Amino acid sequence: MTDTLHLSHLIDGERVGSDRPGESHNPSDTNDVVALTPDAGDSEVNDAVAAAKAAFPAWSEASPELRADVLDKAGTLVMERREQLGRLLSREEGKTLPEGIGETARAGRILKYFAGEALRLHGQNLPSTRPGVEIQTYRQAVGVYGLITPWNFPIAIPAWKAAPALAFGNTVVMKPAGLTPATAAALADILVEAGLPKGVFNLVIGRGGVGQALVDHKDVAGISFTGSQGVGMGVLQGAAKRQARVQLEMGGKNPLIVLDDADIERAVMVALDGSFFATGQRCTASSRLIVTDGIHDKFVAALAEKVAALRVGNALDPNTQIGPAVSEAQMETSYKYIQIAREDGGRLVTGGDRPQLETPGWYVQPTLIADTAPTMRINTEEVFGPVASTIRVKDYEEALHVANDTEFGLAAGIVTTSLKHARDFQRRAKAGMTMVNLPTAGVDYHVPFGGTKSSSYGAREQGFAAFEFYTQTKTSYSWS
């Protein structure tokens, strides 16, 4: 157990205290209070937005080199402190310590990547249809962005939202997830330490009302949200009412197809990684394993053996492979869907138990359920836990149909040695990201991220695509 942190809002460069009615608990040991947390209201949100609005002119007009230097230094500090920050992340969110350190390092690299992007905003010189007239296009900052971030990647997602916003000259008010505020607060501290001027980045901690206040605020030019589909639809409607920019990432029910010609060891590794690591709490996790008849039984048996051997335990224990769910509610959601799947006719192959460990925590035994139908709730609703189901199909065409028959469309994968099927899958899979012989969970930070259908809305996140959401194009005509 480590000392309890006392968190504050960051508004206009100052730590702002308030009543602390909330507590953040360690999901590996619920007796451990990670942080005492403030709960912002309209007053704090208004002050944070006002500070960001006041800071916008100077920050947006500053040299891009200045912005690059701040982000680069912040990235260096995150990388230097990745073990300390990763331990805090694992203590607060429940990822294993290697996963927590790895995510922290990713956040550092994201900050450094966008330090470079600050200097790479491109425009165009275009000929006019009128003699003597010249046309230029260039990108400008938009204004204040409200960033609403989730608990499952509590430092990487705040970094990949804040870094491009700041790099391109915008100012930020961030509302972190209520379950993981300490990790976001640590990132805010580093941005300040790196030299970010006051008011450019603001952090308000609180419950759902804080996010809604940002969505509704007249001076917030854009909202970037990652979270559930239901909340995301409310964010979209609220932003649309006042014509604010909006970007949504809302999860998935991601398929992994395994064909008869697959390398069985590769297929098992891909499914194990994509379905169960990070406790299955990844929007890109492989929750539907669609397996052709000729390899189905062999694949299920081999995967079940690996799943049963996974060691569930305290996130900070170096021997742990699967940490706890982030909260009691998330733990109970996993067990609810396991029960629903069994009642609907699914066969419990391995898992489903409630581990009893030395410390009280929100643990879920990794679970594999076979003999499910595509229409079962286990295959249509997002569980967001270490639970995967298999669907038996006769051939590739049926597999592709089942994979695409969902309201979600974030990531989709296939394991095959057939170049024909791999290329066809890349073209025809109805998902924003496709993986061939790789886990659906696991993406690079320098390329676009996003899905189709109900998984995503608006411009892509991350990489070179981020400028589309965080800048606006100006077209300039001149006659000489």
Residues annotated as catalytic are 249, 283
| Residue among 278, 312, 280, 269 nearest 435 (CA) | 269
Three-state DSSP at 60 gives helix
Question: Cα–Cα distance between 1 and 91 in angstroms, integer?
Answer: 9
DSSP 159: H
Residue holding tokens 């804040």?
162
Using the structure block, give the residue that is written with the tokens 């402190």.
81
Rounded distance, CA 191 to CA 203, Å? 11
Edge-to-edge strand order for the sheet containing 22-26? 5-6, 29-37, 22-26
How large is the C-alpha radius of gyration of the chain?
23
Contacts of 129 (CB under 8 A, 6+ apart): none
d(C-alpha 291, C-alpha 299), whole Å? 8
Dihedral sign, Cα of residue 413, residue 414, residue 419, residue 425: negative
**Is the Cβ–Cβ distance between 325 and 331 less than 8 Å?**
yes
The distance of Cα 314 from the centroid of its chain, to the nearest Å, equals: 23
Alpha-carbon dihedral angle through residues 461, 157, 272, 314, given to the nearest 10 degrees: 180
H helices within 180-327, ranges in order? 181-193, 208-216, 229-241, 264-276, 293-309
Take residue 359 and report the two structure tokens written for it: 């410390």
Whole-number Cα distances in Å, 316 to 100, 103, 183, 196, 255: 9, 15, 16, 32, 31
Nearest CA to 268 out of 308, 312, 313, 320 is that of: 308
